Homo-oligomer: A and B are copies of this chain.
Amino acid sequence: MRKNSKQREEIRRVLASTKTHPTADWVYDNVKQSFPNISLATVYRNLSLLVEEGQALKLTSVSGPDRFDATIDVHYHIACEKCGNIFDVNLPVIVGLEEQLETLTGFKVKSHTVNFLGTCTKCRNE
């Protein structure tokens, strides 16, 4: 049976407070403000729990640590090669893709992600 904890609540809050798709380490640093003794392992443990429960997404990039996202409704991402930041993309979600793929392949398709790579507006002007 799942039990609540102050720490998990705060991790959830910190993650939900940003759109920067932070790493576990970033969450750790921020949760420290209210829980100075929290352990990084606790942050990893709870981020995994949140992902497991469908309350957060784990993103994965070509290099660097995993990132987490409290926005769980389907949306796409673009990563900036230069600054490494990941941004949400406002494109409408492509519909019918998954069904098309199921018909085509016989797979059971659960989800899909679309990831763009490029240079963000800020980095272009530097």
- A residues in contact (CB < 8 Å) with B: 58, 60-62, 78, 80-81, 87, 89-91, 94, 97-98, 100-102, 104-121, 124
Minimal Cβ-Cβ distance residue in B for A119: B108
Q: For the complex formed, measure the closest distance between the CB of A59 and the CB atoms of chain B, giving whole angstroms.
A: 9
A90 to chain B: closest residue by CB: B104
How many Å lie between the Cα of A61 and that of B60 in the bound state?
7
Bound complex: CA A78 to CA B107 (Å): 9
Pairwise interchain contact B112-A101, C-beta atoms closer than 8 A = no
Residue of B nearest to A51 (CB): B62
- Check A124 against B112 for contact (C-beta < 8 Å): no
How far in angstroms is the closest Cβ of chain B from A45?
15
Residues of B within 8 A of A109 (CB): 78, 116-118
Query: Within 8 Å CB of A106, what residues of B?
Result: 121, 124
Q: Quick check: B112 and A108 within 8 Å, CB to CB?
A: no
